[in-house]
Amino acid sequence: MESTRQQKFSRMIQKELAELFLKDTKSLFGNTYVSVNTVRMSPDLSVAKIYLSFLDTSDKKAELQKIKVNTKVVRKLLGDKLRKQIRIIPELIFLLDDGVDYAIHINNLISKLDIPPAPAEDSDKDDDE
């Protein structure tokens, strides 16, 4: 269970990173749409695990690798934005959030199921009793 302080930091970093990926990093990542789904802070606020999802791309692992290679640049840009609010910018660990893909996969599996209709109950049994 995260403390209130961890939750506040998580929301602040999530908001700023989402804005950063939307506006400031077009030169690094092109037109890839990056969504910051979740940010989890360590108890001492020194590490932030950031779960990302990507739209409009076929190779999500390659896009995540681009972000991992440019982590220092992203951290610097984040530090510039949060300089007055946070004393120390946490270490950023980027992870792929596959929750959306998993939900789509489960939905496809369920839609492919062949479930026979339930047998009709006899209304005559109710009348006899």
- Domain span at 16: 4-100
Evaluated on CA atoms 2, 71, 46, 16, the torsion sign reads negative
* pTM assigned to the model: 0.75
* Residue 74 located in a structural domain: yes
pLDDT at 93: 94
Is position 127 within any domain?
Answer: no
CATH of residue 67's domain is 3.30.300.20
Report the alpha-carbon angle 44-54-103, nearest 5.
90
**Exposed, middle or buried, 41 (CB in 10 Å: 0-12/13-18/19+)?**
buried
Asked, for residue 25, whether it belongs to a domain, the answer is yes
Residue 127 is predicted with a pLDDT of 54
On whether residue 113 sits in a domain, the answer given is no
Q: Is residue 110 a part of any domain in this protein? A: no
pLDDT tens across the length of the chain (129 residues): 778 989 999 999 999 999 998 887 777 777 778 889 999 999 999 999 999 988 777 788 888 898 899 899 999 999 999 888 888 899 999 999 877 778 888 888 888 887 788 887 765 555 555
CB count in 10 Å sphere of residue 117 = 5
> Residue 116: inside a domain, yes or no?
no
How many domains in the chain? 1
Q: 3-state SS string over 58-74? A: CCHHHHHHHHHHCHHHH
Q: Report the distance separating Cα 105 and Cα 95, nearest Å.
A: 20
In tens, the pLDDT along 84-120 reads 888 889 999 999 987 777 888 888 888 888 778 888 7
In-domain check, residue 53:
yes
Quick check: is 28 in a domain? yes
